Amino acid sequence: MHHPIDPKIDCVFKALLGAESNRALLIHFLNAILGPDLPAPITWVDILNPYNDKEFLDDKLSIVDVKARDASGCLHQIEIQLLVNRDLLARILYTWADLYCSQLHSGQDYSDLKPTYAIWLVDQVLADTSGYAHDFRLRDAQARPLLDHGGIWLLELNKFHTDQVQTEQERWLKFFKDGEALDSTALPSWMQTPEMTQAMNTLKTFSEKERAYHAYQARQNYLREQRSIQRHLDELRAEAEQQRAEAEQQRAEAEQQRAKAEQQRAKAEQERTKAEQQRANAEQERTAKEQALQEKDAALAEIERLKAQLLDQGRSESRDNE
């Protein structure tokens, strides 16, 4: 191989699994990834959007996923994603639902719907779990399927670290992860299969055909630019998030200070009310004391008056006796 070719670059990926000449590779890949989840092994597929090298070399290839229908009518979508963005999961679900819904045409019934399988190879960490393989289907809390009509399979290449290949699924994942570093003249033992040989021949085609390699480089440069743009957007988003967090913290601190000031005001109001109550109590006590003194003085005056009256009466009686 004259030039190293990364099988994860979308145009190479589609040539591997979407070319009519590589139909056997697609069948092998689907059986390897889906395995026991299929009602029966796939023996034939019709590629619905086949790879066309002339369209690719003319830079007109825009749809880089692979869609196929097997002999039982089941639909399959395979796509590779090198960049992970915040809307990717919604996009994955939407494209699966769109493909599933596309089966029905005018006059057809729901009974005509067939299982639909979406397989996504992701080159960055997507799910917050330790495993690299995930399948998502419609199930309830007891894992009972609502309808066994396929689902979505996510395979995270960055989490795949298998040194010894034991299954065909592991063989394909290792090929996509390490394919760029492989030498076609000295392939490791795990690559010594007819399917891997055919896959390496596809990479060799991109390496040796000048126009194909230049187009591959152009696509790779585009993806590098997209990664740079994505990193820049992530940095801007992180900066905006940090500024939002700082503003939220400042708002919280201001709210805390306002609450503290309100608490101090309430405490001052409470102390003022307490002082006012004490003043009122003191005034009431003073008034009561003054009233008591007035009543005492009045009582003493009444006593003096009665004493004077009795004294006058006694004197009058003494004069009368004389």
Q: What does the domain layout of the chain look like in residue ranges? A: 10-208
Q: What is the pLDDT of residues 110-167, one digit of tens each?
A: 999 999 999 999 988 876 777 899 999 999 999 898 999 999 999 999 999 888 899 9
Residue 310 pLDDT grade (very low, low, confident, very high; cuts 50, 70, 90): confident
CA pair distance 251, 243, nearest whole angstrom: 12
Structure token digits, residue 36: 């026991």
Structure token digits, residue 128: 């917050």
CA pair distance 83, 61, nearest whole angstrom: 19
Q: What is the largest CA-CA distance in the chain?
A: 166
Torsion of CA 99, 103, 109, 111, to 10 degrees: -70
Termini Cα distance of the chain: 164
- Range of weakest confidence among 31-35, 76-80, 281-285, 317-321: 317-321
Burial 57-70 (b: 16+ CB within 10 A, else e): eeeebeebbbbbbb
Predicted confidence at residue 312, as pLDDT, reads: 81
Q: What is the pLDDT of residues 11-28, one digit of tens each?
A: 899 999 999 999 999 999
Q: What is the pLDDT of residues 273-297, one digit of tens each?
A: 998 999 988 889 888 888 888 888 8
CA pair distance 308, 301, nearest whole angstrom: 10
Q: Which residues pair with 153 in a beta bridge?
A: 119, 135
Q: Is the pLDDT of residue 182 over 80?
A: yes
SS3 at position 145: strand
Side-chain half-sphere CA neighbours of 19 within 13 A: 21
CA pair distance 289, 261, nearest whole angstrom: 41
Structure token digits, residue 14: 């589609």
Write down the pTM of the prediction: 0.69
User: Which comes out higher in pLDDT, residue 208 or 36?
Assistant: 36
* DSSP labels, 195-238: HHHHHHHHHHHHHH-HHHHHHHHHHHHHHHHHHHHHHHHHHHHH
Query: Phi and psi of 156, rounded to 5°?
Result: -95, 105
Torsion of CA 197, 203, 204, 206, to 10 degrees: 160
